[in-house]
Amino acid sequence: MNASKERFGQKDLKTLFKDAKRIVVAKGKRFEILDLKRGSPGPAALARLVLGPTGNLRAPAIRTGKTWVVGFNEDVYAETFGGLPA
C-alpha cells in the first residue's frame, strides 16, 4: 500500500484492521497498545486514535504479521522491528 497514492479514512478502518490482533498507536513519546483479541474499541474511538487531523490514516502505518504500528515512536519501532538502522 502506498499512502501517498491511496488514502484511508474512517470508513476503511474495519476492512483495514479486520485481521489484526494488535494495534500499537504511537504519538510522540506516548503510545497505546490495543489488544484486539480481548476486544475492540468502538469505531469512533478507533478513528480518534489512528486518524490524523485530515481524517486519513496517520503515517507511518506499518503492518507486520497481525500487528499494526500507526505513528512513530523510536522505542516501539525498536521493540517491534528489532531496532532502527543507523
Residue 61, beta-bridge partner list: 70
* CA–CA separation, 64 and 40 (whole Å): 19
pLDDT more than 70, % of the chain: 91
pLDDT tens per residue, range 54-84: 999 998 999 999 999 999 998 888 888 886 5
d(CA 61, CA 72): 9
d(CA 83, CA 15): 29
Amino acid sitting at position 31: F
Predicted TM-score (pTM) of the model is 0.85
Give me the residues paired with residue 34 across strands: 23
